[in-house]
Chain A
Amino acid sequence: MSTAIEVRRPGPGSWLTLIRCEAKMVIRDTAGLVIPIGLPMLILVMSASTAGDEVVANGRTVLDVHVLPLVFTVVMATVGIVNMPSFLAYYRRTGILRRLSVTPASPAMVLVAQAVVSVLQAVIGIGAALAVAVLVFDANLPVRPVAALGLVLLAMAALYAVGMVVAAVAPTPNSAVAMGLIVFFAFGALGGLFGGRGGLPDPLARVGELLPFGATVEVLSAAWAGAAIDPVHLMGLTATIVLGGVVSAVFFRWD
């Protein structure tokens, strides 16, 4: 009597609809967009005027090599570590994930849709910052643009993996925001958010460049300057993706 039931999973149209819906959720939560777009822009504007036009390497200035990588990292880190986990924690708390789990859509669809929307947010944030930097402050594009693009994707995945851990272990939406901000500022402080890592004690500076925030700043800086990319940073990012993926998969709860 059960043979008549055919499993037909939601098709591409359904995925697109879900991604559109998740995007609308983000756009309509206007306050949530202020941090990933506004905060990096603020850092850019404040640093750009003092960065000066001193050339570091290959015609790239301090603004290009030091300020822009930091600004882009802040965009990706706020989207991945602060915004995304707060959405997921809210979805879990209010039973949205639970409701979805009794439809043919797996809640995993929500994770993928969130990932897509996060990438879109990052693209918008980075695009806006880059446009202002180039048009207003005469910033230059990276010496190795293709590498820069690939590194942005790798960094986004690593920061998203950190966010997944926050989303997995945070019991409530408020604690997700709190944990996300703490992780963001801790990784940021060790990764050059408040001035270069040069000012930190050696062991901390070393840890900071392995953590995803510092590693992202370093690899983007290298791509901009046309310098060699230190494999240690790539390993730091890759290890974060693997570790974050495993930890969040173990601890993640749908309800």
Chain B
Amino acid sequence: MDDTDAPAVVAENLSKRYGGAVAVEDVSLRVATGDILGVLGVNGAGKTTTVEMIAGLRAPDSGHVRVLGLDPRHDRAKVRQVLGVQLQQAYLHHALTVAELVGLYRGFYPDPRSAEELLDLVGLTDRRTTRFERLSGGQQQRLSIALALAGRPRVVILDELTTGLDPRARRQMWATVEQLRDERVTVLLVTHAMEEVERLCDRVALLDGGRLLALETPAGLVARAGAANLDEAFVTLSGKELS
């Protein structure tokens, strides 16, 4: 099998319960190398749990995950070299500056992107001496994205890429993801912004109540729902309004 034809991410029959509550039920998906997959759904649809299982942060109750052919829990050390993760809720060392945090995270990888490039990617060059705790919420999030890209990952998981960002920062993050696409990086993008899905995603995994409702191209999703646009398709397929 040629390297580029193999799916970068494979999840098969993933299920996860917290106590008795179903978080994810029998979700299977494949992401081709270099593709950008949008993981779409309302709050509580199981988006974060799904990507956290793919990242190896949570063990599935059943099913399995392969990232570049590796089990993210069993082959943890290898997967960490090639997988970049931006977590939805993760703070960084609050008293360290932007430059210090970038230096810290770059140091974990054998061939990191330069600090200048990372700060430039997320527009934080003029904040390098600011402590993390003094950054705005949007700036903290952008820094967290930069750190996810520090090690030149081949697969990136971005959980809530642009939630809470102002329009300018949002466009900047989109440009960053488009640059990743040019570098043939595989991206899993958790989102509930339709505009983001339309602009960036090759395919969409639509989740509802922990189940996968559809795995299609955005256009395919619209066609299948017989809808006029993605918003409408979402409502038709899931019976729910987004946000």
Residue B87 CB within 8 A of the other chain: yes
Alpha-carbon distance A133/B6, docked complex (angstroms): 69
Point out the residue from A1, A10, A102, A103 that lies within 8 Å of B6, measured CB to CB.
Answer: A1
With contacts A2-B70, A95-B87, A96-B90 known, is A104 near B77, CB below 8 A? yes
Binds A, one of B105-113, B116-124, B234-242: B105-113
Residues of A within 8 A of B1 (CB): 1
Alpha-carbon distance A184/B72, docked complex (angstroms): 41
Residue A58 CB within 8 A of the other chain: no
Alpha-carbon distance A95/B132, docked complex (angstroms): 14
- Chain A interface residue count, CB cutoff 8 Å, equals 28
Among A94, A98, A104, the one with the most B-chain Cβ atoms within 10 Å of its Cβ is: A104
Nearest residue, chain B, Cβ from A254: B57
Residue B81 CB within 8 A of the other chain: yes
Nearest residue, chain A, Cβ from B148: A102
Interface string of A1-33 (1 = CB under 8 A from B): 110011111100110011001001100110000
Asked whether, in the complex, the Cβ of A103 is within 8 Å of the Cβ of B90, the reply is no
Expressed in whole angstroms, the minimum distance between the Cβ of A60 and any Cβ of chain B is 42
Asked whether, in the complex, the Cβ of B87 is within 8 Å of the Cβ of A5, the reply is no
Residues of B within 8 A of A94 (CB): 90-91, 94
Nearest residue, chain A, Cβ from B82: A5
Residue A101 CB within 8 A of the other chain: yes
Residue B213 CB within 8 A of the other chain: no
Residues of B within 8 A of A104 (CB): 77, 80-81, 108-109, 151
For this complex, 27 residue pairs linking A to B, each with C-beta atoms less than 8 Å apart, are: A1-B3, A2-B68, A2-B69, A2-B75, A2-B78, A5-B81, A7-B77, A10-B107, A10-B108, A14-B107, A14-B108, A21-B93, A25-B93, A25-B95, A28-B131, A94-B94, A95-B90, A96-B93, A98-B57, A102-B55, A102-B56, A102-B57, A102-B85, A103-B108, A104-B80, A104-B109, A104-B151
Asked whether, in the complex, the Cβ of A17 is within 8 Å of the Cβ of B81, the reply is no
Point out the residue from B75, B87, B151 that lies within 8 Å of A99, measured CB to CB.
Answer: B87
Interface string of B87-108 (1 = CB under 8 A from A): 1011111111000100111011
Residues of B within 8 A of A10 (CB): 107-108
Residue A105 CB within 8 A of the other chain: yes
Point out the residue from A1, A6, A13, A102 that lies within 8 Å of B83, measured CB to CB.
Answer: A102
Alpha-carbon distance A95/B94, docked complex (angstroms): 11
Asked whether, in the complex, the Cβ of A24 is within 8 Å of the Cβ of B91, the reply is no
Asked whether, in the complex, the Cβ of A18 is within 8 Å of the Cβ of B57, the reply is no
Residues of B within 8 A of A105 (CB): 108
Alpha-carbon distance A17/B107, docked complex (angstroms): 8
Asked whether, in the complex, the Cβ of B95 is within 8 Å of the Cβ of A28, the reply is yes
Interface string of B1-41 (1 = CB under 8 A from A): 10100100000000000000000000000000000000000
The 10 closest A-B pairs by CB, nearest first: A95-B90, A2-B69, A14-B107, A94-B91, A28-B95, A99-B90, A8-B110, A102-B85, A105-B108, A103-B108
Point out the residue from A1, A14, A18, A98 that lies within 8 Å of B69, measured CB to CB.
Answer: A1
Nearest residue, chain A, Cβ from B75: A2
Residues of A within 8 A of B85 (CB): 102
Residues of B within 8 A of A101 (CB): 57
Nearest residue, chain B, Cβ from A91: B93
Interface string of A84-108 (1 = CB under 8 A from B): 0000000000111011011111000
Alpha-carbon distance A17/B75, docked complex (angstroms): 26
User: From residue 56 to 74 of chain A, which have CB atoms closer than 8 A to chain B?
Assistant: none
Nearest residue, chain B, Cβ from A255: B57
Expressed in whole angstroms, the minimum distance between the Cβ of A179 and any Cβ of chain B is 22
Alpha-carbon distance A247/B94, docked complex (angstroms): 29
Residues of B within 8 A of A28 (CB): 95, 131
Among B6, B55, B77, B104, the one with the most A-chain Cβ atoms within 10 Å of its Cβ is: B104
Nearest residue, chain A, Cβ from B83: A102
Asked whether, in the complex, the Cβ of A8 is within 8 Å of the Cβ of B81, the reply is yes
Nearest residue, chain B, Cβ from A103: B108
Alpha-carbon distance A9/B109, docked complex (angstroms): 8
Point out the residue from B6, B68, B100, B108 that lies within 8 Å of A24, measured CB to CB.
Answer: B100
Alpha-carbon distance A28/B95, docked complex (angstroms): 7
Expressed in whole angstroms, the minimum distance between the Cβ of B49 and any Cβ of chain A is 14
